[in-house]
Structure 1
Amino acid sequence: MKDTQMARQPDLDRDPLLVRSVGKAFALLSAFDARNPSLSLTQLAIAAGLDRSATQRFAHTLEPLGYLRKDARSKRFTLNVRVMDLTARFLGTDPLVAVARPYLLHLSQTTHETVNLSMRDGTDTVFVNRLLGQHVLNVDVPIGTRMPLYCTSFGIAILSTLPTEEARSVLLQSDRKRLTEATVWEMEPLMEKITLSAARGYATTAEEIYHGDVAVAAPIVNGRGRPLGAVNVASLRSRIALEEMERRYATLVMETARSISNACAALG
């Protein structure tokens, strides 16, 4: 997330209507993650890119509002439960999430595998719905988890709907690197994957971000063919080979994505 925010910053700096104090407040909230669940004031200032005085003022404001919690003894800050209100409000109001829900449920009941809905945010993809299957996966991926576009089935499916040069531009802006020995991260192999996915109508990944994971995804588009998100079925390679995943689920995933796309288009 921090990389995406940094990439957007030059455009934001040129926006005369931007209220920078709001951006700074969200920078504080975005400083926390699984590796940094609690931060001292100094650490929070460094992570948010603010001076200590500004950080103190923003933290002092966010604490009584319920978005930050300060430990009385350690003086360290953590996110407070009210942050979840924003997630709940998004999930309760976003039209794609609402439209997709029954189709995802049907796909989950048909495949008995884990089914996910994801949306693009800059160079990342964000999980916005997840229905767990009968089999345990390697990694728990809660709603709101952010992953790179370039190494996920979601991301390749979404990029496959974009014009070639636009997809290439997104990849050039991405922090591409090898996450596992199977990660496809170099430009030309990625463009080949995107081209193949565009021709087939679905994308696949095998152990590119987590060891043992395999997935098949298809893009959800609006009436103009622009991507709204993607749906995938995920499983374990120890249970099912990628080729078998494609044979069993590719058509089902594409049909689900197409049904959601049509339902979204009908909304206007």
Structure 2
Amino acid sequence: MSSDDTRNLDDTDPLMVRSVEKAFRVLEAFDGANRSLSLAQICVNVGLDKSAAQRFTHTLNKLGYLQKDPVTKRFELSLRSLEMARHFITANPLVNQAMPYLLHLSRETEETVNLTLPHGTDIVFAARFMSRHMLNTDVVIGTRLPAFCTAPGRAILSRLPADEAVTLLERSPLQAFTPQTVHTVDALVARLHAARDAGYATTWGEFFPGDLSVAAAILDQAARPVAAVNIGVSSARYTPEKAEELFAPLVVAAARSISQASSTF
């Protein structure tokens, strides 16, 4: 559960089913650093006593969302957990509408092409076409990154009302992920103004060293940003100037086409 989600939980909400919230916390305890967990680790990571952890893991195992190693007694996410992501992707009209344009962009450029969606102060990868010149292979569908230091995030922020964008920046974990990261509100606001004027945003190695990214926002009927399309390349193969020259017109055209293609995001 993201920090934004956690902040939005209301302990006094009479309609909140606490057992459901705890079950999802158990599932979300598993990630790249915690691919398998013992019952004791789940207790610590989720904040449950042993009895509650046993009930939740048993139920999730019976439902097929967790699998348990019969020897080590450790738990892992099952393949059924992956089906939830598939359901989202197949049911989301924006993602489905964007797919042909992303595929065309991938074939035309032979570079990595992504569709990202905004979620609080972050962006989440909803579609990803990898280049043979692979960059950041640990980024997969569902990966969450900060919006403020990524080109898709800045493209989205740049199309929000100024006060709304500043509020999101002030809530963001502004830190220097690399020596190139722009991480003060004033400097970021200047970047957002430039991105809005240009129609696209760029970042040069601000989250992943050596990653050059160019992105444009996808807008709904009310001209609000609902997603972004970006192309990511390596600084070993392109200069920032060349990447911007080649790919900015392409992402702008793709984002505009996706925006115009659907009236029901």
TM-score w.r.t. length of structure 1: 0.94
| Residue ranges of structure 1 left out of the alignment (5+ in a row) | none
Structure 1 residue aligned with 2:6 = 6
Aligned residue identity for 2:255:
A
Structure 1 residue aligned with 2:77 = 79
> How does 1:16-35 map onto structure 2 within 5 Å?
16-35=14-33
Tell whether the 8 Å contact from 1:2 to 1:30 is kept in structure 2 after alignment.
no
- Give the total of aligned pairs: 265
Q: Deviations over 1:109-157 (max 9, x none)?
A: 2211110001011211111111122322243321111111111111101
Tell whether the 8 Å contact from 1:41 to 1:55 is kept in structure 2 after alignment.
yes
- The counterpart of 1:163, out of the listed 161, 164, 170, is 161
Tell me the distance in 2 between the aligned counterparts of 1:49 and 1:173.
25
Q: Deviations over 1:153-211 (max 9, x none)?
A: 11101111111111111122222211111111221111111111111110111111111
Structure 2 residue aligned with 1:203 = 201
Structure 2 residue aligned with 1:212 = 210
Q: Secondary structure at the match of 2:262?
A: helix
- The counterpart of 1:107, out of the listed 105, 111, 135, is 105
Identity of aligned residues (%): 47
Tell me the distance in 2 between the aligned counterparts of 1:51 and 1:169.
37
Q: Secondary structure at the match of 1:101?
A: helix
| Residue ranges of structure 2 left out of the alignment (5+ in a row) | none
Structure 2 residue aligned with 1:116 = 114
Q: Secondary structure at the match of 1:220?
A: strand
Tell me the distance in 2 between the aligned counterparts of 1:14 and 1:192.
40
Structure 1 residue aligned with 2:52 = 54
Aligned residue identity for 1:23:
E
Moved more, 160-169 or 48-57: 48-57
- The counterpart of 1:181, out of the listed 176, 179, 182, is 179
- The counterpart of 1:64, out of the listed 62, 85, 96, is 62
After superposition, the CA RMSD in angstroms is 1.5
Tell whether the 8 Å contact from 1:214 to 1:234 is kept in structure 2 after alignment.
yes
Tell me the distance in 2 between the aligned counterparts of 1:138 and 1:42.
33
TM-score w.r.t. length of structure 2: 0.95
Moved more, 99-108 or 72-81: 72-81
Structure 2 residue aligned with 1:224 = 222
